């Protein structure tokens, strides 16, 4: 499959995540809800690692990769904790678009830290997405 198929699967799963999480956090402390979700992700991911035979690569991971994967995990944890708390406080239709403001931040950070190019089309698309996200709360 191409990267686009995986990206579309990711988008669909993220949309479903918002709806399922909104229902799931009702009456549950947001930190506990995040911890439960994390356990499910942990078990699911390790099942895939062993099921696909990728566990043999564990010994070959560099310290640099481990560091950045750990930092990414911490960022994911903060994101999930804040997301679940926001879902407890507001409708999913408000929270999800604001959460997706991660897109312009990702493009900016990718340009600054990874030196990825930002074409005028990317900039215009990001601007339209930001406007759309902000209009959902106007």
In tens, the pLDDT along 39-81 reads 999 999 999 999 999 999 999 999 999 999 999 999 999 999 9
Q: Is the dihedral of CA 125, 131, 135, 136 positive or negative?
A: positive
Asked whether residue 117 falls in the same domain as residue 68, the answer is no
- Nearest-angstrom CA–CA distance, 4 and 135: 27
34 is a domain residue = yes
pLDDT category at 87 given cuts 50, 70, 90 is very high
Asked whether residue 10 falls in the same domain as residue 74, the answer is yes
- Packing angle, helices 63-89 and 3-24, rounded to 10: 40
Residue 85 has pLDDT above 70, yes or no: yes
pLDDT category at 107 given cuts 50, 70, 90 is very high
Tokens, residue 22: 């909104």
What is the pLDDT at residue 101? 92
Asked whether residue 8 falls in the same domain as residue 72, the answer is yes
- Would you give the end-to-end CA distance of the chain in angstroms? 39
Question: Taking all residues of the chain, what is their mean pLDDT, rounded to a whole number?
Answer: 93
pLDDT category at 11 given cuts 50, 70, 90 is confident
Domain extent for 58: 3-90
What is the pLDDT at residue 36? 96
127 is a domain residue = yes
64 CB-contact burial (10 Å; exposed 0-12 / middle 13-18 / buried 19+): exposed
**pTM, full prediction:** 0.84
Number of structural domains (the chain) is 2
55-65: pLDDT as tens digits: 999 999 999 99
């Amino acid at each position: 499959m191409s990267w686009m198929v995986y990206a579309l699967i990711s988008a669909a799963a993220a949309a479903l995540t918002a709806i399922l999480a909104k229902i799931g956090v009702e009456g549950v402390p947001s930190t506990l809800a995040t911890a439960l979700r994390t356990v499910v992700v942990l078990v699911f991911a390790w099942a895939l690692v062993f099921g696909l035979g990728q566990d043999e690569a564990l010994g070959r991971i560099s310290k640099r990769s481990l560091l950045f994967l750990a930092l990414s995990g911490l960022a994911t944890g903060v994101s999930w904790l804040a997301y679940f708390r926001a879902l407890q406080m507001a409708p999913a239709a408000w929270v999800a678009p604001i959460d997706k403001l991660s897109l312009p931040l990702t493009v900016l950070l990718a340009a600054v830290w990874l030196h990825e190019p930002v074409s005028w089309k990317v900039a215009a698309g990001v601007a339209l997405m930001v406007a759309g996200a902000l209009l959902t709360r106007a």
